[in-house]
Copies of this chain bind each other. A is one copy, B any other.
Amino acid sequence: MRYELHYWPSIQGRGEFVRLALEEAGAPYLDVGNAPEDEGLGIPALEDYLQGQKTRRPPFAPPFLKAGDEVVSHVANILQFLGPRLDLVPADEESRFWVHGLQLTITDLTAEAHDVHHPVAISLTYEEQQDEARRRAKAFAGERIRTYLSYFERVLGFNPAGDSWLVGERRSYVDLSLFQVVAGLTYAFPNAMRRLAPEIPRVLAVAERVAALPNIAAYLASPRRLAFSENGIFRHYPELDPA
């Protein structure tokens, strides 16, 4: 089956967590948002689903995944859908709830990273809420990144199978997502991440291990890997990341 990923074009955004899973598994997929509108794809194709013209179960927002006739929305939900199908999660049910819980923690961290540059409203530009953003960035870079990444550091230390991966002895989809938040936070807050690095060696090692997986390495070197930018979730504004 060819999966369809529906997400806004031109940015990594939340769609990237799904792309990494599909790429690691070598699963065939169509990136609908980045495909041509004159072939019936692109944003208008997404809108048909959001407005309920193509499904009676319309998602609230992208990303969503179409698998056959089924539509699954929200990053963590898509990943738990794909996990067993693409061999990206341990087989036992208890581990699957555990991996999903970890993924939901990454969801929360990602939302907080986004809200650093949009602390007032997503309907306003960054420039319209820059004062509030500066204050929020101080708390986020000074406290929250540490709180989250130290948690994953501890989780790695607790893994009975060793600290190579978050759960069990193989990579699961949440390792790929941890790589993505480390990459995003390093892009957005290089100074804060440099200060934090000595406290999170296991987390940084997992991120390197993911980047070296053959399929991921090939993906990251391909044109399919879009660049980080100030239109995405992880944005680098130097004034929000003082030395």
Contacts and interface: CB of A to CB of B under 8 A. Distances in A.
Contacts of A90: none
Contacts of A111: 108, 111
A74 interface: yes
Nearest to A151: B60
A223 B77 CA distance: 35
A81 interface: yes
Given A101-B74, A123-B143, A52 B94 contact: no
Given A119-B132, A120-B135, A77 B60 contact: no
Nearest to A59: B101
Nearest to A102: B60
Interface in A141-166: 143-144, 148, 151, 154-155, 158-160
Contacts of A151: 60
A60 B105 contact: yes
Given A115-B115, A136-B121, A139-B124, A98 B57 contact: yes
Of A108, A132, A160, chain B has the most CB atoms within 10 Å of the CB of A132
Q: How large is the interface on A (under 10, 10 to 19, 20 to 34, 35 or more residues)?
A: 35 or more
A104 interface: yes
A97 interface: yes
Interface string A40-70: 0000000000001000111110000000001
Nearest to A119: B119
A111 B74 CA distance: 15
A72 B95 CA distance: 10
A232 to B, nearest CB: 18
A20 B70 CA distance: 29
Interface of A: 52, 56-60, 70, 72-74, 76-77, 81, 94, 97-98, 100-101, 104-105, 108, 111, 115, 119-121, 123-124, 129, 132, 135-136, 138-140, 143-144, 148, 151, 154-155, 158-160
Given A70-B94, A120-B139, 13 more contacts: A56-B159, A57-B155, A60-B151, A74-B100, A74-B104, A81-B97, A108-B111, A111-B111, A119-B120, A121-B136, A121-B139, A121-B144, A129-B135
5 cross-chain pairs, A with B, having the tightest CB-CB distances, nearest first: A121-B139, A74-B104, A73-B101, A56-B158, A60-B105
